[in-house]
Chains A and B, each alone.
Chain A
Amino acid sequence: MKKRDIKINVPVLARVEGEGALELAIKQGRIEELRLRIYEPPRMFEKFVEGYSYDDLIEMVARICGICPVAYQMSAVQAMEGLFGIEPEPWVKAMRRVMYCGEWLQSHSLHIHLLAAPDFLGFGNVIEMAKTYPVEVRRGLKLQALGNDLITLLGGRSVHPVGICVGGFRRAPEVAEVEAIVQRLEEALPEAAALVGWCASLKLPEDAQVFTSVALSHPDEYAIGEGRLCSDGGLDIGISDYEKHFREFQEPHSTALHAHLDGKPYLVGPLARLNLNRDKLPGPVRESLEQTGINFPSVNMFHSMVARAVELHLVVYEALRLLRDYEPPKQPRIEVKPKAGITFGATEAPRGVLWHRYEMDRGGLVRQARIVPPTSQNQARMEEDLRNSLEAFGLDQEDAALQLHAETVIRNYDPCISCATHFLTLDVTRR
């Protein structure tokens, strides 16, 4: 068969957060050029937070990403409290986990239904899909709304919430507010379990790959808000040692930096987390995973969809567990006294590890910041995956099919390009 020369150019990637493009050139049946080009303009957050206070910082970093503002606030608040010698009260810890569960719930549901599922069911977007799958789409929108309302319960609004602060929360919800949401969580629990089965029943491509999974791990729970940085290659380090093992670098075709672990691409996000932490799933969630018949750890990247659904079930279960016997605290936060020094924060954003490093002065103002978001960590892995996956798919396929497959591979990572471009390495040479 004659080998074709193909050029595929997707100038605007649809159903991803932020702005990216794909350039693919195939010559004589071989991939000659493959670029996930990120042209989202950098906003330079790391520079303009300098000189602002630890309180301002919590509001500023939220603006890095409209889809995961809670993650940014949580990594930053963890860093500040670590430096100031504050150990959050059990109530504060529990409510932060609830709020983070809300963010995973809305973000995962948004990705599954609005961004990814149309690929596997043959639709251009969720509005078309809703005509054939009205029940599934409405279930998804309902779960997404519940996630947003959990964030609002503790933060006043779901995008750039205002409740979290260094030392705790600005306000504790009233019992009646919590009771209303507990009832909705009870109703959502079986729907979340059903969603796991539905995602597993989608026609997900078979696509085994070799990659390293990286996630936070915690001895007592499925890590969300804290943990050690671990990999399936034996990495097990404190978050302050991140820079000894991970390296960010710039590629000319992207405004987002790429990252390597010990010189190689790696994966963060739902599949990496489930591969590493599935033994920490509570019983009923583990059951819903087992019923899918899919074995984890999995090397099929498309099992990210199933992993996302399992985590969605997990966070509904966790939020319910933590809110069922809710009692308001004596006070939602404690007094804060700033200290100077270098400090770190790392939590699991819906898309994977979100790592922060700050240098603070005595007055509690930021002197220097460095933020590494999940999507820039996944970018090298995404390009590696695209190459493998397109070759396995068959480069002799029709152009339209190749393009759709490439886009499906990218969307499967749930890339958040808005996040990815706002952080950049700070090997600063100051002038």
Chain B
Amino acid sequence: MLKAHKFSCNDYAKTMKPKLAVHKFSSCDGCQLALLNAGEALLQLAELVDIVHFAEAGPVEQDAEVDIALIEGSVSTPRELEHIQTIRDNSRILISIGACATAGGLQALRNMADAGAWMEAIYAKPEHIELLGTATPISDHVRVDLELWGCPVNTGQVVTAVRDLLSGVKPRQELEPLCLECKRQLNVCTLVTQGEPCMGPVTKAGCGAICPKFGRACYACYGPAEKVNDQSLGQRFEGFGLLPEEVARRFRFITSNAPAFKTAGERLEKTK
């Protein structure tokens, strides 16, 4: 599906700098910080690309044609629904960054509820608020060339992907589960040794296994791994004494709308 030549931006290098845009949809702004917190690396990146749209950092040119568009956030309003189409049309390579853009994010928890009733509960005049019934990932609406998962993504992930593209290299997709990354760090397994309901076996690697390093169970903020055996892991959690609804909440958390976790949540809902 992804062709390496498609990613090559280095043909621009001799003539002009490739153009980069950073767009925000429904989100907490935390993934844009992967760039805003990058320090010297941000200044270096600005030498390599022309940052034409990045509202939080300053440049505003929403509808500019770009080589690389980074998208943070989920689609949750009629305006965002239109906007993502325009961005797709204007971008050679579109990368969604973070849990909201890749899976709908924490706010996709509302997809399971009656959002209309929630709006009435929260706003005195809900007619002034334009909101879709669901919060959905970018890939539900347009073709996405690369997904960087994580809540939040880190500077390494974003800068590496952009630099790979600038060098004409196809960026690496993370496929392995967190357990492998965790083992390489020689952390003590929280699931086996402490009976903690660790989501490591079904979660994508890439965060640095910080939760097990802190002696706690992974809560799956990097989304589902390539293969998810939720049934087997769920049974193990029940063996630790968790009720089915407690097991369901392990899957229905930061990326509840990611297909593998959504299915797991629905299956557990039925067994309640």
Q: How far is the CA of A130 from the CA of B57 in the complex (A)?
A: 13
Q: Does B37 contact A (CB under 8 A)?
A: yes
Q: Does A114 contact B (CB under 8 A)?
A: yes
CB <8 Å contact, A126 and B33: no
Q: Name the B residues within 8 Å of A110 (CB-CB).
A: 36-37
The interface-forming segment of B121-129, B136-144, B264-272 is B121-129
The interface-forming segment of A22-30, A38-46, A340-348, A383-391 is A38-46
CB <8 Å contact, B123 and A250: yes
CB <8 Å contact, B56 and A126: no
Q: Does A56 contact B (CB under 8 A)?
A: yes
CB <8 Å contact, B215 and A171: yes
CB <8 Å contact, A250 and B124: yes
Of A46, A165, A252, A418, which is in contact with the most chain B CB atoms at under 10 Å from its CB?
A418
CB <8 Å contact, A42 and B129: yes
Q: Name the A residues within 8 Å of B31 (CB-CB).
A: 66
One digit per residue, 1 when the CB lies within 8 angstroms of any chain A CB and 0 when it does not, for chain B 96-127 equals 00000000011101100101011111111100
Q: Name the B residues within 8 Å of A114 (CB-CB).
A: 36, 57
CB <8 Å contact, B59 and A124: yes
Q: Which A residues between 248 and 262 are near B, CB-CB below 8 angstroms?
A: 249-250, 252-253, 255
Q: Does A430 contact B (CB under 8 A)?
A: yes
**Contacts A14-B55, A127-B46, A156-B211 known; A425 to B122 CB distance under 8 Å?**
yes
Q: Name the A residues within 8 Å of B221 (CB-CB).
A: 59, 160
Q: Does A281 contact B (CB under 8 A)?
A: no
One digit per residue, 1 when the CB lies within 8 angstroms of any chain A CB and 0 when it does not, for chain B 22-65 equals 00101111111110110110110010000100011111101000
Cβ-defined partner of A106 (8 Å) among B34, B37, B105, B109: B37
Q: Does B254 contact A (CB under 8 A)?
A: yes
CB <8 Å contact, B110 and A162: no
CB <8 Å contact, B110 and A44: yes
B20, chain A: closest CB distance, angstroms: 12
Q: How far is the CA of A69 from the CA of B51 in the complex (A)?
A: 27
Residue of B nearest to A417 (CB): B29
Residue of B nearest to A46 (CB): B122
CB <8 Å contact, A125 and B125: no
Q: Which A residues between 144 and 168 are near B, CB-CB below 8 angstroms?
A: 144-145, 148, 156-160, 162-163, 165
CB <8 Å contact, B79 and A39: yes
Q: Name the A residues within 8 Å of B92 (CB-CB).
A: none
CB <8 Å contact, B121 and A429: yes
Q: How far is the CA of A43 from the CA of B24 in the complex (A)?
A: 14
Q: Does A8 contact B (CB under 8 A)?
A: no
Of A18, A42, A148, which is in contact with the most chain B CB atoms at under 10 Å from its CB?
A42
Q: How far is the CA of A51 from the CA of B62 in the complex (A)?
A: 39
Residue of B nearest to A52 (CB): B249
CB <8 Å contact, A41 and B56: no
Q: Name the A residues within 8 Å of B119 (CB-CB).
A: 44
CB <8 Å contact, B107 and A44: yes
CB <8 Å contact, B56 and A15: yes
Q: Which B residues between 81 and 107 are near A, CB-CB below 8 angstroms?
A: 105-107
Residue of B nearest to A170 (CB): B214
Q: How far is the CA of A255 from the CA of B129 in the complex (A)?
A: 7
**Contacts A41-B131, A250-B123 known; A158 to B37 CB distance under 8 Å?**
yes
One digit per residue, 1 when the CB lies within 8 angstroms of any chain B CB and 0 when it does not, for chain A 50-92 equals 0111001001100111110100000000000000000000000
Q: Does B203 contact A (CB under 8 A)?
A: no
Of B28, B124, B213, which is in contact with the most chain A CB atoms at under 10 Å from its CB?
B28
**Contacts A41-B76, A118-B58, A142-B39 known; A66 to B29 CB distance under 8 Å?**
yes
**Contacts A17-B56, A48-B113, A127-B51 known; A171 to B214 CB distance under 8 Å?**
yes
CB <8 Å contact, A162 and B214: yes
A427, chain B: closest CB distance, angstroms: 7
Q: Does B77 contact A (CB under 8 A)?
A: yes
Q: Does A305 contact B (CB under 8 A)?
A: no
Q: Name the A residues within 8 Å of B24 (CB-CB).
A: 18-19
Q: Does B253 contact A (CB under 8 A)?
A: yes
CB <8 Å contact, B28 and A418: yes
Residue of A nearest to B27 (CB): A418
Q: Does A428 contact B (CB under 8 A)?
A: yes
Q: Name the B residues within 8 Å of A430 (CB-CB).
A: 121
Residue of A nearest to B151 (CB): A160
CB <8 Å contact, B39 and A66: no
**Contacts A47-B113, A160-B221 known; A63 to B254 CB distance under 8 Å?**
yes
Q: Name the B residues within 8 Å of A52 (CB-CB).
A: 249
CB <8 Å contact, B121 and A47: yes
Q: How far is the CA of A63 from the CA of B113 in the complex (A)?
A: 19
Q: How far is the CA of A120 from the CA of B253 in the complex (A)?
A: 43
B25, chain A: closest CB distance, angstroms: 8
CB <8 Å contact, A63 and B37: no
A97, chain B: closest CB distance, angstroms: 20
B175, chain A: closest CB distance, angstroms: 22
B33, chain A: closest CB distance, angstroms: 5
Q: Name the B residues within 8 Å of A170 (CB-CB).
A: 214-216
CB <8 Å contact, A48 and B122: no
CB <8 Å contact, A424 and B123: yes
CB <8 Å contact, B33 and A159: yes
Cβ-defined partner of A59 (8 Å) among B36, B76, B219: B219
Cβ-defined partner of A160 (8 Å) among B30, B80, B129, B131: B30
CB <8 Å contact, B77 and A126: no
Q: Which residues of B come within 8 Å of A, CB atoms?
A: 24, 26-34, 36-37, 39-40, 42-43, 46, 51, 55-60, 62, 76-77, 79-80, 105-107, 109-110, 113, 115, 117-125, 128-129, 131, 135, 151-152, 154, 207-208, 210-211, 213-216, 219, 221, 249, 253-254
Q: 5 closest pairs, A vs B, by CB?
A: A66-B30, A125-B58, A156-B210, A43-B107, A424-B122
28 sampled A-B residue pairs with Cβ under 8 A: A15-B56, A45-B106, A47-B113, A47-B118, A59-B221, A63-B105, A65-B28, A66-B32, A66-B33, A114-B57, A124-B58, A125-B59, A127-B58, A145-B39, A148-B37, A157-B207, A157-B208, A160-B151, A163-B214, A165-B216, A170-B215, A171-B215, A252-B128, A416-B29, A424-B122, A424-B123, A428-B121, A429-B121
